[in-house]
Chains A and B, each alone.
Chain A
Amino acid sequence: MSIQEHYRSRAKELLSSGTVKMVIGYGTGSTPDRRRPVFITSPDETDRLVLDKACRTNLSGYLLREGLLSDQKQVAVFFNLDGVRSLNILAAESQLETAQVLVLGFRIEGEEVTALQGERAADFKSLIAAAKEQRKSQPPHELQEKLEAMTPKERFSFWEAEFSRCIKCYACRQACPMCWCRRCVVDNNQPQWVNTSSHTLGNLEWNLLRAFHLAGRCVECGNCSRACPADIPLHLLNRRMSDEVQGSFDHYPGMDEAQEPVLASFRKDDPETFIL
């Protein structure tokens, strides 16, 4: 039985037994290589579920839709390991209870899609710990390396060119499972921290601010880069932030639901080489 069939019947079973009230998964998208989220509430609809290598979107953000989890019923969601990590972060930030979320885990490796063992976020602990080690030895991203080798001036003009294309649609924010604030700081107009019109200065400020707010929280799922209509390599900023929190504070976001947020905690011996 293919993994898709396996999970279709599992979803059917969960819905007909009443274990979960909804299954959030992937369905066919507007083009053959795209998938769109589907929200299935009836066992008859589980044939709409698709699971293949195109299922890249992190679906955890949908769990925070207003009222979805307020009735204490369970929801099953398709997650790869990044998704499970973001689930842990949302729980650590008191946005949901992992007991209400049933994980339908999968992993994409090249063409292969395999099932991950486990049902609850806590079942994936050892896999996440292995991913943390792997992240340390991960070879550097090509473009990131190129950027780091540039002079500040060259780097500035690289980002200036990238951000000049930004149209401030905030798709990155809407697609990001970690951007759950009811009121985003850019929507504040008193004080207005960030220029709202889409000229390069405001775009730069917005994207730096978002990268900062995601530092130590981003699981590098890539939702923002995929959502960006201007193809700005937003993941580079997030990746750089992940490198920093892992390098300086040994913090890998989403280890478990009890993990302290990196910027809301400290150690007395944190590094401070740059402070005069």
Chain B
Amino acid sequence: MSEVFEPKIVAFVCTYCTYAGADLAGTSRLKYPSNVRIVRLPCTGRISPMFILKALQKGADGVLVSGCHPGDCHFDHGNYHARRRWTVFNSLLQFAGVPEERVKFSWISAAEGIKFAELIREITEDIRKIGPFEEYHKLIAETGSAAPL
């Protein structure tokens, strides 16, 4: 019997909205795949593109970046700044050949536990379909350091 591929997904989320949304998904007893590892940050404005590269460097098959909807930021405009950065970085990743399924961006509020659970299900399935990020894992293997994730 062949084993089902379980992708490793890292989610960088802001503490005020998406983390609270994930919390709500949990307290509401909603089911979502355990493939996601959540990293909580103060604000999407704190999420540097280097975090995304670092997650891939440590062997992630997919990355999710998520925060408050525009207008809802606890710090008023952290997510507006983040949005510009994502626009630029997303196009750079795609130009470099990172498939768009692997790095996703979303807005999830503290009330959207259902959206969180559904999104995690969806991206886990999408990444399961395209398989492990072999191209990147090959590069990691070349460096001689095993992916610790």
Interface residues of A (CB under 8 A from B): 147-148, 150, 152-160, 185, 193-195, 197, 199-202, 204-205, 208-209, 211-212, 215-216, 237, 240-241, 244-245, 248-249, 262-268, 270-272, 274-276
Partner of B87, one of A147, A153, A240, A272: A272
Nearest-Cβ distance from residue B149 to partner chain A, whole angstroms: 15
Interface centre among B53, B86, B89, B97 (most CB of A within 10 A): B97
Q: Is B4 an interface residue (CB 8 A)?
A: no
Q: Are B53 and A208 in contact (CB under 8 A)?
A: yes
* Cβ-closest chain A residue relative to B79: A266
Partner of B70, one of A148, A212, A248, A268: A268
Q: Are A209 and B84 in contact (CB under 8 A)?
A: no
With A152-B99, A155-B96 as given contacts, are A240 and B50 in contact (CB-CB < 8 Å)? no
Partner of A276, one of B49, B88, B119, B136: B119
Can you list 19 A-B contacts (CB < 8 A)? A152-B97, A153-B97, A155-B95, A156-B98, A157-B97, A157-B135, A158-B97, A200-B139, A201-B136, A201-B143, A212-B89, A216-B88, A240-B92, A241-B88, A241-B92, A248-B87, A266-B81, A270-B83, A270-B84
Nearest-Cβ distance from residue A179 to partner chain B, whole angstroms: 16
Number of A-B contacts (CB under 8 A): 124
Partner of B80, one of A185, A211, A268: A268
Instruction: Please report the C-alpha to C-alpha distance between residue A176 and residue B121 in the assembled complex, in whole angstroms.
Output: 44
Nearest-Cβ distance from residue A242 to partner chain B, whole angstroms: 10
Partner of B86, one of A153, A159, A275: A275
Q: A271 — which chain B residues lie within 8 A by C-beta?
A: 87
Q: B142 — which chain A residues lie within 8 A by C-beta?
A: 199-201
Instruction: Please report the C-alpha to C-alpha distance between residue A209 and residue B70 in the assembled complex, in whole angstroms.
Output: 26
7 cross-chain pairs, A with B, having the tightest CB-CB distances, nearest first: A156-B97, A155-B97, A276-B106, A266-B80, A201-B139, A152-B99, A215-B88
- Interface size class on chain B is 35 or more
With A152-B99, A270-B83 as given contacts, are A193 and B54 in contact (CB-CB < 8 Å)? yes
Partner of B135, one of A156, A197, A265, A267: A156
Say whether chain A's binding surface is mostly helix, strand, loop, or mixed: helix
Interface residues of B (CB under 8 A from A): 49-50, 53-54, 57, 70-71, 77, 80-81, 83-100, 104-107, 119, 135-136, 139-140, 142-143
Instruction: Please report the C-alpha to C-alpha distance between residue A154 and residue B80 in the assembled complex, in whole angstroms.
Output: 33
* Cβ-closest chain B residue relative to A192: B54
Q: Are A199 and B143 in contact (CB under 8 A)?
A: yes
Instruction: Please report the C-alpha to C-alpha distance between residue A197 and residue B135 in the assembled complex, in whole angstroms.
Output: 19
Task: List 18 additional contacts besides A195-B143, A200-B139, A200-B142; criterion CB under 8 Å.
Answer: A152-B97, A156-B97, A160-B139, A193-B53, A201-B140, A201-B143, A244-B88, A263-B81, A263-B84, A263-B85, A266-B80, A267-B80, A268-B71, A270-B83, A270-B87, A272-B83, A274-B105, A275-B106
